[in-house]
């Protein structure tokens, strides 16, 4: 798979495949030269990406503590002396955490406000990073294209609220999900809403992309509102039912 770069004003995002189906993300500010890595799925791939872009890593923003998200923290911190940002509530589980953040916190990244939002469900301490000025959010394992994270720690009610918070962002917000799960998610989604034309169209496009090894990430808030059965669930109970079905699909 080819790595992909996208532009958002003076912010540049570079994404690249890691491990089996994870994505790694770098975000670079061309004014300040700062570069953050969103989660640390695979150190070698992250270093290769930094070298390819000629960017110097200054920060890590963790979404949650799972090894395919925080497993490379300490190695990268030792190599680059970076500052690690993550959930204050998950201090004990995020290796090398320097700056604990909480829901509603806003921090600066080269003149851009980065909004921290709690999205419990997949884990209790899961957070996402929303950059309204770049119409971008790094959503970790909370929402996937046509899916959502498994409920390892949180409840269906928590995930329902978390997905609603994401759905309330502007429609054209780019959602950078941490895994390429779209085709298998979509196969399941079609069993929930076989007659949803937006979903049918979404899957045609996703298949065409995957045939050419093109990522289906990022998706958008609007696309997920139209086609993602978890986002479209009307109640927490309904979401819980769909999640249970998906887990045994």
Indicate which residues carry an active-site annotation: 64, 66, 68-69, 122, 141, 179
Candidates 42, 68, 180, 224: give the one binding Fe ion (CB under 5 A).
Answer: 68
User: DSSP class of residue 96?
Assistant: T
Q: Is the dihedral of CA 29, 34, 38, 44 positive or negative?
A: positive
Contacts of 7 by beta carbon, 8 Å cutoff, 6+ apart: 13
Which of the 8 DSSP states describes residue 149?
-
Give 49-62 as a DSSP string: HHHHHT----EEE-
Distance in Å, CB of 122 to Zn ion, minimum: 6
Q: Which does 246 bind (CB under 5 to 8 A by kind): Fe ion, Zn ion, none?
A: none
Residue 37's Cα: distance from chain center in Å? 12
Query: Which is closer to Zn ion, CB of 66 or CB of 232?
Result: 66
Please identify, among the stretches 87-95, 96-104, 139-147, 210-218, the one whose residues bind Fe ion according to the rule CB under 5 A.
139-147
**Residue whose token pair is 């770069």:** 5
| Closer residue to Fe ion in complex, CB, 59/179 | 179
- Applying CB under 5 A, the span of 50-58, 68-76, 185-193, 198-206 interacting with Fe ion comes to 68-76
End-to-end CA distance of the chain: 27
User: What minimum distance in Å lies between the beta carbon of 39 and Fe ion?
Assistant: 8
Q: Supply 99's token pair.
A: 């700056």
By CB under 5 A, tell whether 141 contacts Fe ion: yes
**Which residue number, 29 or 142, has a Cβ lying nearer to Zn ion?**
142
CA 173, CA 146: separation in Å to the nearest integer? 16
Element spanning 86, H or E:
strand 83-87
Report the nearest approach of Zn ion to the CB of residue 87 (Å): 13
Closest separation in Å from C-beta 166 to Fe ion: 17
Secondary structure class of 173 (helix, strand, coil): coil
Nearest-angstrom CA–CA distance, 156 and 122 = 9
Please, which residue, 114 or 139, has the CB nearer to Fe ion? 139
Q: Residue 12: which of Zn ion, Fe ion, none does it interact with, CB under 5 to 8 A by kind?
A: none
Tell me whether residue 139 or residue 206 sits nearer to Fe ion (CB atom). Answer: 139
Applying CB under 5 A, the residues found at the interface with Zn ion are 66, 141
How many amino acids of this chain bind Fe ion (CB under 5 A)?
2
Binding site for Fe ion (CB under 5 A): 68, 141
């Amino acid at each position: 798979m080819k790595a992909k770069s996208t532009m958002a004003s003076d912010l540049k995002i570079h994404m690249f495949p890691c491990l089996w189906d994870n994505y790694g993300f770098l975000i670079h500010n061309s004014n300040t030269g700062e570069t953050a890595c969103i989660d640390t799925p695979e150190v070698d791939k992250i270093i290769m990406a930094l070298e390819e872009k000629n960017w110097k890593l200054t920060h890590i923003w963790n979404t949650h503590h799972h090894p395919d998200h925080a497993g490379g923290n300490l190695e990268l911190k030792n190599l680059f002396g970076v500052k690690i940002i993550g959930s204050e509530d998950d201090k004990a589980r995020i290796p090398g955490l320097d700056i604990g953040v909480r829901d509603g916190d806003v921090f600066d990244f080269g003149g851009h406000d980065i909004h921290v939002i709690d999205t419990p469900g997949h884990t209790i301490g899961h957070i996402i990073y929303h950059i309204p000025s770049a119409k971008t959010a790094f959503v970790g394992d909370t929402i996937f294209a046509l899916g959502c994270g498994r409920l390892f720690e949180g409840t269906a009610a928590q995930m329902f609220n978390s997905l609603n918070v994401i759905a309330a962002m502007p429609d054209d917000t780019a959602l950078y999900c941490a895994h390429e799960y779209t085709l298998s998610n979509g196969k399941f989604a079609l069993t929930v809403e076989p007659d949803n034309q937006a979903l049918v169209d979404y899957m045609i496009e996703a298949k065409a992309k995957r045939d050419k090894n093109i990522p289906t990430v990022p998706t958008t808030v609007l696309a997920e509102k139209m086609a993602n059965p978890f986002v479209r669930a009307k109640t927490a109970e309904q979401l819980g039912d769909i999640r249970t079905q998906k887990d045994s699909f």
